[in-house]
Amino acid sequence: MSDKPVDKPKKDKVPRQAMPEQEPQVRARNFEEVPLGLSAESAVLEASRCLQCKKPSCVEGCPVNVQIPEFIKCMAEGDFLGGIRQIWQRNSLPAVCGRVCPQEAQCEGSCVLGKKDAPVAIGNLERFAADWARKGGTAELPPKAPPTGKKVAVVGAGPASLTVAGDLILRGHEVTMFEAFHRPGGVLVYGIPEFRLPKEIVFSEVNFLERLGVKLECNTVVGRSITVDELFEEGFDAIFVAVGAGLPKFLGIPGENYIGVYSANEYLTRSNLMKAYLFPKYDTPVVIGKQVVVLGGGNVAMDSARTALRLGADQVHIVYRRSRDEMPARAAEVHHAEEEGVKFQFLTAPTKFIADDKGRVTAMECQRMELGEPDASGRRRPVIIKGSEFILDCDLAVIAVGAGPNPLLTSSTPGIALNKWGYIDADPKTGKTALKGVWAGGDIVTGSATVILAMGAGRLAANSIHDYLMRGW
Amino acid sequence: MYEILNKEVLAQGTVVLNEISAPRIAGKAKPGQFVILKANETGERVPLTMADSDPKRGTITIIYQVVGKSTHMFADMPVGASYQDVIGPLGKATHLEKVGRVACVGGGTGVAVLHPITRGMKEAGNEVIAIIGARNKDLLILEDKMRAASHVLKVCTDDGSYGHHGFVTDVLKGYLTGPEKVDLVVGIGPVPMMKFLTKLTKEYGVKTMVSLNPIMVDGTGMCGCCRVTVGGKTQFACVDGPEFDGHTVDFDELTQRLAAYREDEAKSWARYKEECACRTR
């Protein structure tokens, strides 16, 4: 049997080490990070639970194939430097991934221990190793290959781009990252709230890349400030496009343009990137809702609901048209939201917004749904229950029902092939697009997905770009 | 960083011009497009349609009315100081083509945005009538430049202190009812002005372009903050505009949405005044 333990002290005696967290009632009113991080002692204990499988299924479950048993072995021995070095070989953003990856569906979901007991807390250990390194455990940089003289432009500065930039700079290429916003990080900075991913961590990861030599040009909207063709004219040999799925979806119901009705992109960008939660110290305001409704059932909906609580809401309802089982959000996010007092209205869909004479939203009319036959996605289709309309009072409504592809870059790039939804058509194995010398990855290819999947796409594209630069298309 | 190379105070200190070093933007900017400016780390992202750009000097020019904290903060920056962030060019450029006779109508600081469009319309071979207005003579801006950019310039003031006594719409009406046909009107100014202007031109069936200035955050179509209803459909002014067919714009909704943060803006402005008072004390 391949899963046999290598050596066996009594490992089953150690329970999964709980992640210390801020108390729900306390944290629901502040923007500090919710989990506090493992102590060194509990990290070592947790790492000792790993069976060191010879054919580790956890590694297969990881989109970037972090060498999990190897890093955990170092951790169990208290060799945190060795641990972070092992992670860095495959993942340049461990402090981020340890916090936002859906581990239960990936590495931890594949952990053999999880069959009978709780899986090894791989995410928490990854987070610990990365935080240890960032907080002064080591200042070392990975070794770089000699310069190749090739120049790569990376468009966007989110997780896919950061991965490509990190991979290619280490292989000796010159890398310039172009970001439309005034800060790098993409969704890590504008989308994911401070209490889930402190921005200081993202900037520290970006700073790590800059120390390696990656150039960063913010405030540059590729598609407007400069086009893909012009980047080639400026001397770039290869271009990686990862501009995200930055086009908010609205519901198309009456009253959607009333004041106090936001797309989740706007609500979260105001709060996270522009730091509206610190208004008036920061100049960007945001509507402070007392009665809040959030529409949608994904991570973005959870982030919006929990942000509204922290900004002073008395009551927050997540309104979702399917049932709990169909919610796409990460389990931990739903759990955290419920602990903090967010209420759920399942099988409920909005029909219109109602406002006062100044155009400020005061309520939302909804109707109840029931689950019918499965639809194309395999999920049971919600069907309206006639006559079930009711009113939910609200002075803030956040629409978090997904995003589409932003056409700013693609519409200015003739020859780049798109699929029927407007996402870039790229080879899933290499990230190659229909245009020579242009790769794409992340949400602009897949539609809204996860940080780690974007990083996985970045890894594949980086390999393909390197291959092209050294050997040709 | 984006350095202020030149600064002029217009209209008795209520309107300020900045020429800013931004070579990449200057190389691409076209009439009708806008930039987003952020003064410093804690500042907001403020969209302003460019008044000019000079690819040779690598500069862009903005002209803004000083109204709240952000614009006061901009106005307080001397030559040599820098904006932390300038993003652009954003939005669609004005469609400049020969259509015949064009009336370019501007009110208040809208004239700043109107100027490069007027110039472009003239260069495209149109006969250009320019009509500009302000509350009074002292608040009128860019009169000479507008005269040079057009074939005929008419000036009005609300109080009659200069030029025609009355609104720009009065003067425009004279042309609409006159013997020669007006083929296109471009109207840029405060929302009430654009609302009444489009109402008038609709009566005479003359196509009218307006440039909208809703509140924005990213300016790249990502957040939907700047959504406006045009022809019954939601459009994002940042990527679908900022120019639209004025006859189909829901100006009442735009007015309401522009007032969304009025209380917050007042709070910010009061706080800034207090801080400035502390510093000079």
Which residues in chain B have their CB less than 8 angstroms from residue A256's CB? 234
**pLDDT, position A89:** 84
Of the residues A249, A283, A284, A358, the best mutation for testing chain B's interface (the one with the most B CB atoms within 10 Å of its CB) is: A283
Q: Quick check: A196 and A34 in contact, CB under 8 A?
A: yes
The DSSP letter of residue A16 is: P
Q: Of A21, A19, A34, A23, which Cα lies nearest the Cα of A307?
A: A34
Contact B87 A281 (CB under 8 A): no
3-class SS shares of chain B: helix, strand, coil, % to 5:
35, 30, 35
Say yes or no to pLDDT of A434 above 90.
yes
Distance CA A79, CA B114 (A): 66
**Which pair of tokens denotes residue A64?**
């970037």
Distance from CA of B138 to the nearest CA of A (A): 31
Q: What is the pLDDT of residue A6?
A: 55
Question: Best mutation site among B223, B227, B261 for testing chain A: the one with the most A CBs within 10 Å?
Answer: B223
CA distance A380 to chain B (A): 30
- Judge residue A407's burial from the number of C-beta atoms within 10 Å of its C-beta, 0-12 exposed, 13-18 middle, 19 or more buried: middle
> Which of 3.40.50.10800, 3.40.1000.10, 2.40.30.10, 1.10.3660.10 would CATH assign to domain B2-90?
2.40.30.10
Amino acid in position B54: D
Cβ distance B222 to A280 less than 8 Å, yes or no, reads no
Give the gap in angstroms from C-alpha A402 to the nearest C-alpha of chain B: 12
Please report which confidence band the pLDDT of residue B279 belongs to, taking 50, 70 and 90 as the band edges: low
Q: Classify the C-alpha dihedral A201-A206-A209-A213 as positive or negative.
A: negative
Query: In degrees rounded to 5, what are phi and psi of residue A185?
Result: 125, -20
> What tokens appear for A275 in the block?
């730091």
Chain A contacts of B264, Cβ < 8 Å?
279-280, 285
pLDDT of residue A93: 83
Residue numbers in A near B265 (CB within 8 A): 285
User: Confidence band (pLDDT; 50, 70, 90) for A331?
Assistant: confident
Is the Cβ pair B87, A219 closer than 8 Å? yes
Produce one character per residue of B96-131: b if its CB has 16 or more CB atoms within 10 Å, e if not: beebebbbbbbbbbbbbbbbbbbbbbbeeebbbbbb
More confident residue, A412 or A361: A361
Q: Taking Cα atoms as reference points, which of B90, B75, B35, B80 lies closest to residue B221?
A: B90
Better-scored residue on pLDDT, A299 or A376 = A299
pLDDT tens string A168-204: 998 999 999 999 999 999 999 999 999 999 999 999 9
β-strand B2-10 against B15-21: which pairing, if any?
A: antiparallel
pLDDT at A8 (0 to 100): 52
Encode pLDDT of A335-348 as tens digits: 999 999 999 999 99
Return d(Cα A174, Cα A165) in angstroms, integer. 9
CATH 2.40.30.10 domain residues, chain B: 2-90
Partners of B74 on chain A (C-beta within 8 Å) are none
Query: What CA–CA distance (Å, rounded) separates A435 from B118?
Result: 39
The predicted complex's ipTM stands at 0.94
Query: CB within 8 A of B143, min separation 6: which ones?
Result: B132, B153, B155
Q: Residue A178 forms beta bridges with which residues?
A: A155, A217
* Residue A378 pLDDT greater than 90, yes or no: no
Has residue B277 got a pLDDT over 90?
Answer: no
List of domains in chain A: 33-135 (1.10.1060.10), 151-246+404-471 (3.50.50.60), 250-401 (3.50.50.60)
Residue in B38, B53, B212, B218 to test binding to A, most A beta-carbons within 10 Å: B218
In this predicted structure, the answer to whether residue A64 has a pLDDT above a threshold of 90 is: no
Residue B161 has pLDDT above 80, yes or no: yes
Residues of B at the A interface, defined by Cβ within 8 angstroms: 24-25, 28, 38, 42-45, 69-70, 84-90, 217-218, 220-225, 227, 229, 234, 239, 253, 256-257, 259-261, 264-265, 267-268, 271
**Distance, CA of B160 to chain centre:** 23
Residue of A nearest to B69 (CA): A283
Phi, psi of A294 (to 5 degrees): -120, 130
The pLDDT-based confidence of A22 (bands split at 50, 70, 90) is very high
Mean pLDDT for A381-398 is 94
Average pLDDT along chain A: 92
Comparing CB atoms, the residue among B44, B45, B224 nearest residue A263 is: B224
**Ramachandran category for residue A177: left, alpha or beta (phi over 0 → left; psi -120 to 50 → alpha):** beta
- The DSSP-derived string for A208-266 is HHHHHT-EEE-S--BTTTB-HHHHHHTT-SEEEE-----EE-----TTTTSBTEEEHHH
Handedness of CA A49, A52, A53, A56 (dihedral sign): positive
Of A292, A297, A295, nearest to A311 by C-alpha is: A292
Q: In what order do the strands lie in the sheet with B46-49?
A: B46-49, B34-38, B85-90
pLDDT (0 to 100) of residue A12: 55
Structure tokens at B276: 């400035």
Look at A377-381, B20-24, B246-250 and tell me which has the smallest mean pLDDT. Answer: A377-381
Residue type, A139: A
List the single best residue of B217, B249, B261 to mutate versus A (max A Cβ within 10 A).
Answer: B217
Nearest CA in chain B to A258: B257
State whether A266 and B223 contact (CB < 8 Å).
yes
Residue A121: the pLDDT is 96
Q: Distance between CA atoms of A345 and A349, rounded to whole angstroms? A: 9
According to DSSP, residue A27 is labeled: H
* pLDDT band, very low/low/confident/very high, at A1 (cuts 50, 70, 90): very low
- H-assigned helices in A133-196: 159-170, 187-190
Pick from A155, A219, A269, A275 the residue to mutate for testing the B interface (most B CBs within 10 Å).
A219
Question: Residue A140 pLDDT more than 80?
Answer: no
Name the helix (H) or strand (E) containing B146.
helix B143-149
**Of A325, B280, A435, B249, which is closest to residue A426 (Cα–Cα)?**
A435
Please say if the pLDDT value at position B238 is more than 60: yes
Q: Which residues of A fall within a CB distance of 8 Å from B234?
A: 250, 256-257
Determine the pLDDT at residue B280: 59
Confirm if B149 and B178 have CB atoms less than 8 A apart. Answer: no
Chain B residue with the nearest C-alpha to that of A262: B225
Partner residues linked to A369 by β-bridges: A384
The pLDDT value recorded for residue B158 is 92
Whether residue A379 has pLDDT greater than 90 = no
Q: What is the mean pLDDT of residues A54-78?
A: 93
| Burial tier of A53 (Cβ tally within 10 Å: 0-12, 13-18, 19+) | buried
| pLDDT of amino acid A21 | 92
CATH topology (fold) of B101-258: Rossmann fold (3.40.50)
DSSP letters for A350-375: EEEEEE-TTSBEEEEEEEEEEEEEE-
Does B281 have pLDDT greater than 60?
Answer: no
For chain A, the C-alpha Rg in angstroms (whole number) is 23
> How far is the C-alpha of A69 from the C-alpha of A201, rounded, in Å?
25
Least confident span in A9-13, A208-212, A446-450: A9-13
The residues, any chain, with a CB within 8 Å of residue A179's CB and separated by 6 or more, are A156, A157, A186, A216, A217, A218, A219, A220
pLDDT digits over A259-306, tens only? 999 999 999 999 999 999 999 999 999 999 999 999 999 999 999 999
Question: Nearest chain A Cα to B221, which residue?
Answer: A247
